[in-house]
Amino acid sequence: FWSKVTGTLDDCACDVETIDRFNNKEIFPKLQKLLSSDYFRFYKVNLNNPCPFWTDHSQCGLKYCAVKPCTPGEVPEGLKSSSYKVLESHIVDETRQALQEWKKHDDESDRFCMLDDEDSPESQYVDLLLNPERFTGYKGPEAWRIWNSIYEENCFKPYSVKRPLNPLASNSGLCVEKRAFFRLISGLHASINIHLSARYLLDENWFKMKWGHNVSEFQLRFDEELTEGEGPKRLRNLYFLYLIELRALAKILPYFERPAFHLYTGQRTQDNENKKLLLELLHVAKSFPLHFDETALFAGNNKEAMKLKEDFKLTFKNISRIIDCVECFKCRLWGKLQTQGLGSALKILFSERQIEAMPNTSNTNPSFQLSRQEIVSLFNAFGRISTSVRELENFRSLLSNLKQ
Ligand code: FAD
């Protein structure tokens, strides 16, 4: 049921196999190593934001939805709020004045996503490695309501109809950019559903839980026949999302290459090694021979392009608010992290000119900035998509073993 990633939206002559090879050999191992470091594993998040859209919203009592926040002793000193505030930009050598300048610049208007207020007493550090994304049992009308609101209310409905047309269809009346937006969300949805199929609760008893690949769950969601052709389209959307996030990583290299940038946790040797690894990863991302041509989607300086950018931002911010309505905390954690990560990727792709100008501007006051939350979510979100692509290979071989 494997289908090629081609077509007008992709603007890329890539096929699935090229991306698979590149991801599984070059990207995935480096990215996993990076994401296990302290800088990337501790994510500060507010999981208690109220749902702004409906009131009949309850907390789910599913045991696998629980999230265990860190105790203060578990978080590296350098990351904790007090020292974090002083070193907020992780640019330890920069002057306070430069930091003030950045604060002025780095306001809401630049973002594609709602970021949690890290100073709120409700925000807590979560160790992502101890709270992995996997099957939780969250499903049924509650989960559908979330996906429905994301698709139906926020995906640039072409006409005001009760049931939206399928935005994937080429005659749906949506412009290329807005169809692209649908594909990003659909790719994210596919990725979440791959993870829950790959880390499914296979067996449970008093002493031990067994997590692993559930091939029939995967087939139910992605097999061409069982899904009447929708499954492969959704997998193509996953590859599309992969290409977009990969492109954003390739573009952001100059920002991280600045000597003043540090992945600060307070452990100097580890921090330096991490920065080296991060740069290696970004150079690999840049070397991908068949990059998606994002200029077709995001470039332009005219009124229409500016309007499109605003539409994207508003819609995306709305989606991040909907995630606050997800009843399952584990799903909310990873949903938030991945939408924030995609928001950071879009911010990068829409800021091409500022990033390109970076080497020519003074290091102490770049016109483009990413907060730690944006950086952590960007890399972890890409880590999820990269793991999904890797998992597809696992499912492929499990399926071929079944056939033999
Ligand atoms: P759903 O996945 O709920 O899909 C609903 C409908 O959307 C489908 O019937 C189909 O018509 C359409 N659809 C499905 N996939 C796509 C796609 N890729 N593109 C376009 N349309 C599609 N569950 C877990 O076990 N672990 C998690 O970590 C987790 N995280 C979640 C995070 C969020 C933000 C949300 C909203 C849900 C999460 N879930 C998680 C639940 C999971 O995504 C499913 O909703 C659930 O497993 C029920 O699946 P379903 O087969 O009923 O269809």
ipTM above 0.95, yes or no: yes
| Per-residue b or e along 8-32, where b marks 16 or more CB atoms closer than 10 Å to that residue's CB | ebbbbebebeebbebbeeebbebbe
The per-residue pLDDT for range 214-253, each reduced to its tens digit, is 999 999 999 999 999 999 999 999 999 999 999 999 999 9
Task: Locate the ligand 1 atom nearest the alpha carbon of residue 238 and give its number.
Answer: 18
Question: Has 189 been labeled as part of a binding site?
Answer: yes
Question: Has 221 been labeled as part of a binding site?
Answer: yes
State the pTM of this model. Answer: 0.88
The answer to whether residues 180 and 9 touch, using CB atoms and an 8 Å cutoff, is yes
The per-residue pLDDT for range 325-343, each reduced to its tens digit, is 999 999 999 999 999 999 9
Orientation angle between helical segments 329-349 and 372-403, nearest 10 degrees: 110
CA-to-CA distance for 147 and 114, rounded, in angstroms?
18
Orientation angle between helical segments 176-198 and 303-323, nearest 10 degrees: 30
Choose among 92, 38, 25: nearest CA to 70: 38
CA-to-CA distance for 333 and 236, rounded, in angstroms?
25
Q: Which residues contact 71 (CB under 8 A, 6 or more apart)?
A: none
The per-residue pLDDT for range 67-123, each reduced to its tens digit, is 999 998 899 888 875 444 434 444 444 444 444 444 444 445 566 666 666 667 778
Q: Is the pLDDT of residue 160 over 50?
A: no
Neighbours of 166 (CB within 10 A): 11
Residues with a CB atom less than 6 Å from ligand 1: 133, 135-136, 138-139, 143-144, 146-147, 186, 189-190, 192-193, 196, 234, 323, 326, 330-331, 334-335
The per-residue pLDDT for range 340-390, each reduced to its tens digit, is 999 999 889 888 778 877 765 555 556 788 999 999 999 999 999 999 999
Residue 331 among the catalytic residues:
yes
Higher pLDDT, 270 or 358: 270
Q: Which residues contact 58 (CB under 8 A, 6 or more apart)?
A: 327
Distance 154 CA to ligand 1 centre (A): 16
Residue 51 among the catalytic residues:
no
Chain centroid, CA 258 distance in Å: 24
Neighbours of 185 (CB within 10 A): 22
Q: Which residue's CA is the nearest one to ligand 1's atom 7?
A: 147
Name the DSSP class of 207. Answer: S
Q: Which residue's CA is the nearest one to ligand 1's atom 22?
A: 186
> Which of 240, 331, 384 has the most ligand 1 atoms within 8 A of CB, as the residue to mutate?
331
Neighbours of 323 (CB within 10 A): 23
Q: Is the pLDDT of residue 208 over 90?
A: no
Least confident of 112-116, 172-176, 311-315: 172-176
Q: Which residue's CA is the nearest one to ligand 1's atom 49?
A: 139
Q: State the pLDDT at residue 354.
A: 80
Q: Which residues contact 221 (CB under 8 A, 6 or more apart)?
A: 193, 197, 227, 231, 234
Distance 258 CA to ligand 1 centre (A): 40
Q: With left for phi above 0 and alpha for psi between -120 and 50, is residue 62 left, alpha or beta?
A: beta
